[in-house]
Amino acid sequence: EKGRRDLGWFQEPWSWPFIALSAGLLGGAIQPLRLWALRKGANFGTAARQAFDGMGQSLIYAATFLVYLGGVSLLGFTIASLIYMQALYRMSGLRGGKWRLIALLVTLAIVLAFRVGLDIWFPTPPLLHLFPDWVAGTFGGYL
């Protein structure tokens, strides 16, 4: 099967970004524990607002990226990227038809840059194993 390489989970494209982002999120969990210890204090409300001011959106983007990385391993790079780009544009407030088309075109440009420009074959996603072999053979490297 062209493009499939058995490198072990630690060398898969998703593994290190997933590990690094997960470690960052776990490390960031210390702040809520510190605030919980201060909950009976006089200025707890102010301290809590200041500690998490602006973090909510960042955490949502980080969690979405983690879901995307998991999606790459299950759905393949192209399909997961299409879904992720659509979600990213939507979360950014860019919701019109024009932006959906731009997200699609950006994803296709990225895929073509990897596949055609750099000649990188993507591993066949497990999703394609649900279809006949000719589907995986024909589309596997692009999805």
In this predicted model, what pLDDT tens digit does every residue of 6-18 receive, in sequence order?
A: 666 666 667 777 8
Using one digit for the tens of pLDDT, what is the confidence trace for 96-116? 889 889 988 998 998 888 878
Q: Mean pLDDT score of the chain, rounded to an integer?
A: 79
Q: Phi and psi at residue 50, in whole multiples of 5°?
A: -70, -40
User: pLDDT, tens digit, for every residue of 37-56?
Assistant: 777 777 777 877 777 777 77
Q: What are phi and psi of 77, to 5 degrees?
A: -60, -45
Cα separation, 76 vs 81, in Å, equals 8
At 125, is the secondary structure helix, strand, or coil?
A: coil
52-100 pLDDT, tens per residue?
Answer: 777 778 888 888 988 998 888 888 888 899 999 999 989 988 888 898 8
DSSP string for residues in 72-113: HHHH-HHHHHHHHHHHHHHHTT--SHHHHHHHHHHHHHHHHI
Percent over 70 (pLDDT), the chain: 87
* Per-residue pLDDT at 105: 92
- Per-residue pLDDT, 84: 93
Work out the angle at residue 127's Cα, subtended by the Cα atoms of residues 123 and 131, and round it to the nearest 5 degrees: 105
pLDDT at 10: 63
Query: Does pTM surpass 0.75?
Result: no
How large a percentage of the chain has pLDDT more than 90?
6
Do 125 and 141 form a contact (C-beta atoms < 8 A)? Answer: no
The amino acid at 120 = I
Q: Over the Cα atoms of the chain, what is R_g?
A: 20
Coil/strand/helix, residue 134: helix
